């Protein structure tokens, strides 16, 4: 089971469309989705704890970050489903939950690896500027990985032809959401 899990993580990163196809053919039940969602939040909690251990200067509340993780999971799932359907996508809501769960699991595993890598590099002050460069690269990788995986997974999920178009729509959607949130904050906040 662990070998299958690690293989799927590997294929999801190296060839996300193959990983996505395999994932969607796996016939995960509703209870399996609940277990996957629980795994997402457990891995996120581990990443938060490791982050607090690696960076002693900034201590983050696990409870508030898990709450934020749950909120972002729900918003991302609903947005992925409805926006995908709006553009003619064929993915079901259950498949969307599966894909977003898997995306979060892969990203949480990558974040844990990244934090361990940063901790090891931090313990090697003799690397100097080169170590700082490696830490900067290590922090940028999960962001690029998110865009890469999300665009490819959604392409497979909704049967789209181009991951680049999915990425473009995602970036436009993020921009529109940012403008909307700025508007809301400006209206709600006292002058």
pLDDT of residue 56: 65
CB atoms within 10 A of CB 168: 12
Q: Of 148, 144, 124, 147, nearest to 134 (Cα)? A: 124
Q: At 70, is the pLDDT very low, low, confident or very high (cuts 50, 70, 90)?
A: confident
Q: Of 106, 98, 108, nearest to 23 (Cα)? A: 98
Q: At 59, is the pLDDT very low, low, confident or very high (cuts 50, 70, 90)?
A: low
Cβ contact 13:106 at 8 Å: yes
Task: Give how far the C-alpha of residue 9 lies from the chain's centroid of Cα atoms, to the nearest Å.
Answer: 13
| pTM attached to this predicted model | 0.83
Helix, strand or coil, per DSSP, at residue 62: helix
Cβ contact 108:40 at 8 Å: yes
Token look-up 């080169």 returns 130
Q: At 37, is the pLDDT very low, low, confident or very high (cuts 50, 70, 90)?
A: confident
Q: Look at 42 and 191; give whichever has higher pLDDT.
A: 42
- What tokens appear for 156 in the block? 């497979």
**Rounded (10°) angle between helices 129-158 and 62-86:** 40
Q: At 148, is the pLDDT very low, low, confident or very high (cuts 50, 70, 90)?
A: very high
- Spatial CB neighbours of 164, under 8 Å, sequence gap ≥ 6: 151
Q: Of 101, 112, 107, 106, nearest to 48 (Cα)? A: 112
CA-to-CA dists, residue 116 to 61, 65, 111, 121, 154, angstroms? 20, 19, 9, 9, 29
Domain locations in the chain as residue ranges: 2-188
Q: Look at 132 and 145; give whichever has higher pLDDT.
A: 145
- What tokens appear for 181 in the block? 């949130």
Q: At 10, is the pLDDT very low, low, confident or very high (cuts 50, 70, 90)?
A: confident
Cβ contact 99:157 at 8 Å: yes
């Amino acid at each position: 089971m662990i070998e299958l899990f690690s293989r799927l993580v590997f294929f999801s990163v190296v060839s996300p469309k193959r990983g996505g196809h395999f994932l969607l053919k796996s016939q995960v039940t509703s209870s399996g989705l609940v277990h996957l969602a629980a795994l997402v939040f457990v891995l996120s909690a581990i990443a938060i704890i490791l982050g607090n251990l690696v960076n002693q200067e900034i201590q983050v509340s696990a409870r508030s970050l898990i709450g934020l993780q749950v909120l972002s999971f729900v918003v991302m799932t609903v947005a992925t489903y409805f926006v995908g359907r709006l553009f003619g996508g064929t993915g079901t809501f259950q498949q969307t939950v599966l894909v977003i769960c898997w995306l979060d699991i892969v990203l949480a595993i990558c974040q844990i690896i990244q934090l361990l890598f940063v901790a090891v590099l931090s313990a090697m002050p003799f690397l100097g500027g080169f170590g700082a460069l490696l830490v900067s690269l290590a922090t940028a990788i999960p962001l690029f990985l998110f865009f890469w995986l999300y665009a490819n997974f959604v392409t497979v999920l909704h049967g789209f032809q181009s991951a680049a178009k999915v990425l473009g729509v995602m970036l436009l959607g993020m921009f529109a959401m940012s403008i909307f949130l700025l508007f809301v904050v400006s209206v709600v906040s006292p002058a």
